[in-house]
Structure 1
């Protein structure tokens, strides 16, 4: 690679405007040739990333919604179960103060029923009766069971608090089962959500990067095409008079456009100190 030869202001001023314009034109032509391929690659990357990022985001949000519902279901069930257990304990304490809890179906009653049923069963097995006789024995057994259940129900109804306590405990246990199932399902979804979130973050980063590069390349291509038209027209017409104003001023000992801009900035800062402070902070 050839070494670059340093050029001062006079050297630059000595270069013809047309030569400089042709150099700029050549560079813009090269950019216009290179950018489209890069732009096409970025567009392809963007088209691939956008639907994947969208799908991952939608699936993640859907899982988040399900997790929230399961969490609410679990918490509601636990809260209601706790209330029922507290009520059952209150009833138990009340019954203990009032003399204890009576078993509506004591063991002796169960044994008495069992003995009666056994006697009927023995008679049924040893009897040589007809089908009607067998049916009568079976009906008697059913009647004994029904009478026992009615007796137990009557004893239970005489202790309404006992019934309420048992129902509260049973319902509380069922609610805890519901809460556990909701929690287990939620844990599974949380794990799935972590994977889906990672997928979303990955593709969203790819999408943003591809989108940013696509925009930059589109702007660069548009700028190059506009510059091509501008400099082609200038070179063809060999018209650079309005572009040589600054060069003529420097050649005649005047300030460059950059120096003039610097002086203008200093003047503005003097007239507006707040603006100067803002410029320094920036």
Structure 2
């Protein structure tokens, strides 16, 4: 795009600290991992399989062979864990958990397999990821931070019933954190003892709700010698932004009015752009003013 005259600021306005909020969308993890599995069909994929949720976000129950819940091997419960990979860093607001959900039939109760004691951790890109069962899978030295708990999750529904009951999320954990790629749940105990529980522990579904991403301008620096303006702001990994300019504050379409210079994707939790004259030189992603 071109303008009739170069952009020359005539009024100085301090926009540092300006905050605009957005968020609340669901974020589907790109992968999940677990400490162990009871069978190959009760693996990590069940924790994020959207086919197990109806249009009202209720979880379908099913028998053991329906593979609708993750279930660990017969290890020590305190060694079990799960984590989700969001694929990039995001601001998260809530983690919803559906505890173990199985429909078995009369006289066969397995709700004791539900997770009870837990602690939820979060980490950014580059965190140390657990592989084997462990009592300390999410260590601070590996880049993990406790975000909820320690505490207890609500038990899953009684499983000794018929039909295919629907289950709302048993817990909704408020987790307001920025720069989160990985979400880990360290399992401390289960709701057993119950008949037929063995020593396994399980969860049915985990869902991540994005939090409010603060659009905050953290720095504006103008180089008077080159007319370069460097702007840094908090951003979302998949956010899309635009920058406009005016030398009169008149509406778009009028002479000298607002004009969109460029649009661009965010660089992660923080983005820096440089607004420079046509032949200017800059080391950061730049937007020319013509």
TM range (shorter): under 0.3
Q: Which structure has more helix as a fraction of its residues? A: 1
Asked which structure has the greater RCO (Cα within 8 Å, sep 6+), the reply is: 1
If the length of structure 2 is used for normalisation, what is the TM-score? Answer: 0.17
Q: Which structure has more strand as a fraction of its residues? A: 2
Greater Rg, structure 1 or structure 2? 1
